[in-house]
Amino acid sequence: MLNAVKQSWLTFRSIFTGMGVTIRHFFGKSVTLQYPDEKMELPKGARSRLFVNIDDCIGCNLCARACPVNCIDIETVAATQDVDLGKTSTGNPKRFWLTLFDIDMAKCMYCDLCVHPCPTNCIYMVPEYEYSEYDRINLVYHFSNLEPEMVAEVKVKAELEAEQKKRDREEMMRKKAEEKAKKELEEKKKAAEESKKEDKEEE
């Protein structure tokens, strides 16, 4: 009997304790974030989407080589002598046309390894995480800002210049070889004359 009373007392006490806890939470603040309306600020250094500031890229290819999953695709064309591509905001001269700079975010594993090698800090993560797509192909982000015609033109120009350079070099080589041969011939002549002179003096 006494035990039953004790048990009942304990039961009621625990029930009221529990109800006290729940009522405190009832009037407490909710932790819910109304997601599409309110968004949590991402912590510093959050890795969510890669972005390339293409104006600062020098086309060094270091990021593509650092990528463990090969999700960065870069194609560069050397700038011809008649154009000056200017400098990056960090002061590095730009020497390449970036005809292709694609990042496949479907492949990306958010390792951040491409960010650190960049000499001009132009590839980095941006706090943007709502970019789901219906088609996987839409996850390939194109960062190159050259028009297709421009790319073709630049390529042709670069090829021409390369050919020109090759020809120039060949010409130079030939000239050099000719000069060398001339010199040698003259030296031989001189040597022959000198030896004649010496012969005369001896006589």
Partner 1 sequence: MSQILLNINPIAILVHAAIPLTIILVYALVAIWGERKIAGFIQDRLGPMRVGGWHGWAQSIADLLKLIQKEDIIPTDASRFLFKFAPFMMFAASYAAFAVIPFSSAYIGSMVNIGVFYLLAVTSVLTLSVIMAGWASNNKWSLLGGMRSAAQMVSYEVPTIASVLTVVLVAGSLNLMTVTELQAGNDILGFLPNWLIFQNPFLIVAFIIFFISILAESHRVPFDLPESESELVGGYQTEYSGMRWAMFMLAEYADMLLLSLLGATLFFGGWNSPFGDFMGGPLWGFFWFMLKGLLLVIVMMWIRWTLPRYRVDQLMHICWSILIPLSFINLVLTALWEVIF
Chain positions contacting partner 1, by CB under 8 A: 4, 8, 15, 18-19, 21-23, 25-32, 34
Smallest separation, CB 20 to partner 1 (Å): 9
The minimum distance between CB 10 and partner 1, in angstroms, equals 13
As measured in angstroms, the least distance from the Cβ of 19 to partner 1 is 5
Whole-angstrom Cα distance, residue 200 to residue 70?
79
C-alpha span between 115 and 123 (Å, rounded): 6
Q: Which is nearer to partner 1, 22 or 132 (CB)?
A: 22
- Scanning the chain, the segments in alpha helix (DSSP H) are 2-27, 62-66, 148-202
Q: Which is nearer to partner 1, 8 or 89 (CB)?
A: 8
* Least spacing, CB of residue 118 vs partner 1, in Å: 43
Cβ nearer to partner 1, comparing 3 with 81? 3
Distance in angstroms (rounded) separating the CA atoms of residues 192 and 196: 6
40/192 with CB nearer partner 1:
40
Q: What share of the chain is helix, strand, coil (3-state, %, to 5)?
A: 45, 15, 40
d(CA 144, CA 156): 18
* CA dist., res. 159 & res. 153, Å (int): 10
- Output 15 or 185, the one with its CB closest to partner 1: 15
Q: In this complex, which beta carbon is closest to partner 1, that of residue 30 or of residue 132?
A: 30
Q: Residues 23-33, buried b or exposed e (16+ Cβ, 10 A)?
A: eeeeeeeeeee
Closest CA to 80 of 148, 152, 160, 145: 160
